[in-house]
Amino acid sequence: MTTRSGFFLEDFDVGRVFHHATPRTVTAGDRSLHVALTGSRFAMASADTFAASCGFAKAPVDDVLVFNMIFGKTVPDISANAIANLGYASGRFTAPVHEGDTLDAVSEVIGRRELSNGRSGIVWVRSTGRNQDRRTVLDYVRWVMVNKRDPASPAPETVVPALAEAVDPASIVIPDGLDLSGYDWAAAGNGTDWDSLGCGQRLDHVDGMTIEEGEHQMATRLYQNTARVHFDQHRSSATRFGRRIVYGGHIISLARALSFNGLSHACLVVALNGGRHTAPTFAGDTIYAWSQVLAKADIEGRVDIGLARLRTVAAKNHPCDDFPDRDDEGRDHPDKVLDLDYWVMMPRR
């Protein structure tokens, strides 16, 4: 008897909804592990007192941790058989998550297209993370390349969803009660403030973080992400890489943590405009990161909060003081592993 099969292109009918398994109560343990695995130092997720001075009852759970927990739940249904995780878009964090909240996830298929090779295709899903009150805490679109179960089966109708290039800042949700007018600048580090950030400005985050097999495995299991490429060296030995691959979400976590150097006041991630894992990462690689300010936006009626649209690029074994990016033909630098486009909320002076 086979006890795991996953799904194939034929299974992803547009409109089909997957109720993913294993709800999860987020705990202090999850938060500590996230710190231990990434070194994140953002004050908002670190200290109840700091968060309380910003209007939260307690420190919210790190946004990237929430993302990875929701993502993990979708893996057995959406990407167990995926050939590649192609991208993200249209993500919004719509309610803070606190210790004791229980998260679950559902995904709806919103697009499908067979590739010209006839053997595989692309599937778009919108995944929604919810808390115990059925309130959405995060939703985002991702698309993956999956094999067909039977190459002889007819090509399904092509449906490609329209995806905005970026989340409209007017649609970004401000957490209930958030008030940054009493923000403790010193406690939050010496990063650039929102008013000083210039569009187009680039920041090298300087530090590097080397990844060990045990670390990325623990992070990925913490998210209950079961994709076998991250865990099974015996089978990986026969693949083209010959090794386990680091889960891309762990790279996002590391890049966000590294961005504290320079962006310590980017206190909340509030939207995910897009993202690509441009190359695989392996244990032993050292991750560096740099960021660029793509845009800034006001929030109507608020003088305490500003929005900044950032692009954070992570590279492996390549310190980022030269801002590795794309060449003249648009090809990613071979050391690049992540290109993430997102909105953050920041205090204003």
Task: Give the DSSP H/E element, type plus range, for residue 92.
Answer: strand 82-93
Task: Pick between residue 48 and residue 150 the one whose CB is nearest to a copy of itself.
Answer: 48
Task: Pick between residue 94 and residue 192 the one whose CB is nearest to a copy of itself.
Answer: 192
CB of 84 to a copy of itself, least distance (A): 20
CB of 168 to a copy of itself, least distance (A): 29
CB of 44 to a copy of itself, least distance (A): 10
Task: Pick between residue 47 and residue 297 the one whose CB is nearest to a copy of itself.
Answer: 47
Nearest to 85 by CA among 141, 139, 129: 141
CB of 74 to a copy of itself, least distance (A): 13
Residue 247 in tokens: 């889960």
With beta carbons less than 8 A apart as the criterion, state whether 135 and 95 touch. yes
For residue 82, give the amino acid letter: A
Task: Pick between residue 206 and residue 295 the one whose CB is nearest to a copy of itself.
Answer: 206
Q: How far apart (Å, rounded) are the C-alpha atoms in residues 288 and 292? A: 14
With beta carbons less than 8 A apart as the criterion, state whether 99 and 32 touch. no
Q: How far apart (Å, rounded) are the C-alpha atoms in residues 110 and 144? A: 12
Q: How far apart (Å, rounded) are the C-alpha atoms in residues 266 and 137? A: 19
Task: Pick between residue 167 and residue 263 the one whose CB is nearest to a copy of itself.
Answer: 263
Task: Pick between residue 108 and residue 204 the one whose CB is nearest to a copy of itself.
Answer: 204
CB of 147 to a copy of itself, least distance (A): 17
CB of 41 to a copy of itself, least distance (A): 5
For residue 251, give the 3-state DSSP assignment.
helix
Q: How far apart (Å, rounded) are the C-alpha atoms in residues 108 and 12? A: 9
C-alpha neighbours within 13 Å on the C-beta side of residue 235: 7
Task: Pick between residue 9 and residue 65 the one whose CB is nearest to a copy of itself.
Answer: 65
Q: How far apart (Å, rounded) are the C-alpha atoms in residues 344 and 295? A: 11
Put residue 22 in one of left, alpha, beta given phi > 0 → left and psi -120 to 50 → alpha.
left
- Spacing of C-alpha 325 from chain mean position: 19
Task: Pick between residue 87 and residue 236 the one whose CB is nearest to a copy of itself.
Answer: 236
CB of 261 to a copy of itself, least distance (A): 4
Task: Pick between residue 19 and residue 331 the one whose CB is nearest to a copy of itself.
Answer: 19
CB of 163 to a copy of itself, least distance (A): 28
Running DSSP on this structure, what letter comes out for residue 78? I
Q: How far apart (Å, rounded) are the C-alpha atoms in residues 183 and 206? A: 26
User: What separation in angstroms does the CA of 134 have from each of 8, 103, 137, 140, 183?
Assistant: 29, 9, 9, 16, 31
CB of 316 to a copy of itself, least distance (A): 8
Query: How many C-beta atoms lie closer than 10 Å to residue 211's C-beta?
Result: 21
